Structure 1
Amino acid sequence: MARTTIDYGTMMHDAMRGLIRRVLDQVAADGLPGDHHFFISFDTNHPGVQIAQWLHDRYPEDMTIVLQHWYDNLDVRDDGFSVTLNFGDSPEPLVVPWEAMKTFVDPSVEFGFRFEQRDDDGPDDPGGMHDDEEAPFAEIEETPRQDAEVVSLDRFRK
């Protein structure tokens, strides 16, 4: 059965995941350039997420990690990425599938993207969109760097 609409939301999310993958590929190869650093939030219950049980107990729904000063073993794959982060002098490996990502933010250049969560995908509901819903909106900002400021992740959440 042919779709009656073009699923722009899914296409946009796939494109953004590809962009984030390219960015993380560069960082894995060359390290973080300049003041760049990333806040990445993800669904800790998503299939394929691998985190220590004590981290899941502490973050039972979602978790935000920071790639900045100390990270190791960044490995970018087709299905997601893995990285080892330091939690209070305890290195912990994490595996995050692309589909588990909720937000990606690089506050050094005021760039951020929020992935809309879709729970109702079905044959009559392509991309989880209902007739009365608006299309997913990408919150993308890119402006020249200014003096230091605190960037709240809340500005990129619903």
Structure 2
Amino acid sequence: MSEDLLGYNEMVETAMRSVVRQALERAAKGGLPGNHHFYITFRTDHPDVMIPDRLNQQYPEEMTIVLQHQFWGLVADDEGFDVELSFNKRHEHLRIPYDSLITFADPSVNFGLQFHVEMEEAPSRASPPAASDEKGPGADMDPATGVDGDDAGAETEQEGEGDNVVTLDAFRKK
């Protein structure tokens, strides 16, 4: 097979990130219409991600946030987005660049995108603490609503490196 000298994979990634940007811009402008809500998984170890240290320690590699009922100050720009979410009844500001996204989904319409995240080699971080009975953000999150009482919720997902494929199966109603 010939080498892709035009960079089609990069073009597709850019186009998919543009879809996320436009969806977030619309949500920032007019809220989320109907039953729309977003599950956004991103790399917390991306150099341009800005999240509080306590969340970074709890989620050293990746984190999933839910934008549905309770989020504030959503602002999307060309590089990423800012949002304030509640974690254990504590409001926290997050800055998430589009380059850090792993997945974006709107389960209300069975829509999802999966991204390939390029990470520079960085010194390895300490491994996360072993699982315990202690609850973290999103531990009691209702997947149907994405809300944990007063919290917007967050959860982690472990995924292996995969192909650059848009997959919707994970978000289809069964």
Q: TM-score, normalised by structure 2?
A: 0.69
Query: In the alignment, residue 80 of structure 1 is paired with which amino acid?
Result: G
Per the TM alignment, residue 140 of structure 1 is displaced from its structure 2 partner at its CA by: 4.3
Aligned twin of 1:58: 58
Query: In the alignment, residue 70 of structure 1 is paired with which amino acid?
Result: Q
Query: In the alignment, residue 7 of structure 1 is paired with which amino acid?
Result: G
Distance 1:97 1:119, change over 3 A: closer
2:13–2:115 CA contact under 8 A, matched in 1: yes
Distance 1:119 1:95, change over 3 A: closer
Aligned twin of 1:34: 34
Query: In the alignment, residue 53 of structure 1 is paired with which amino acid?
Result: D
Runs of 4+, deviation exceeding 4 Å:
none
1:14-93 map, 5 Å: 14-93=14-93
Query: In the alignment, residue 55 of structure 2 is paired with which amino acid?
Result: L
| 1:138 to 2:155 alignment | no
Aligned length: 130
Per the TM alignment, residue 139 of structure 1 is displaced from its structure 2 partner at its CA by: 1.6
Aligned twin of 1:124: none
d(CA) in 1 for partners of 2:115, 2:24: 17
d(CA) in 1 for partners of 2:97, 2:11: 17
d(CA) in 2 for partners of 1:4, 1:103: 25
Distance 1:135 1:84, change over 3 A: closer
Q: TM-score, normalised by structure 1?
A: 0.75
Per the TM alignment, residue 19 of structure 1 is displaced from its structure 2 partner at its CA by: 1.0
Query: In the alignment, residue 79 of structure 1 is paired with which amino acid?
Result: E
Per the TM alignment, residue 9 of structure 1 is displaced from its structure 2 partner at its CA by: 1.0
Per the TM alignment, residue 119 of structure 1 is displaced from its structure 2 partner at its CA by: 5.0
2:100–2:117 CA contact under 8 A, matched in 1: no
Aligned twin of 1:96: 96
Q: CA RMSD in A?
A: 2.3
Gaps of 5+ in 2: 121-161
1:50–1:94 CA contact under 8 A, matched in 2: yes
1:9–1:135 CA contact under 8 A, matched in 2: no
Per the TM alignment, residue 6 of structure 1 is displaced from its structure 2 partner at its CA by: 2.2
Describe the SS at the equivalent of 2:113.
Answer: strand
Structure with the bigger RCO (C-alpha within 8 Å, sep 6+) is: 2
Gaps of 5+ in 1: 121-133, 151-158
Per the TM alignment, residue 57 of structure 1 is displaced from its structure 2 partner at its CA by: 0.6
Describe the SS at the equivalent of 1:35.
Answer: coil
d(CA) in 1 for partners of 2:60, 2:166: 26
2:116–2:163 CA contact under 8 A, matched in 1: no
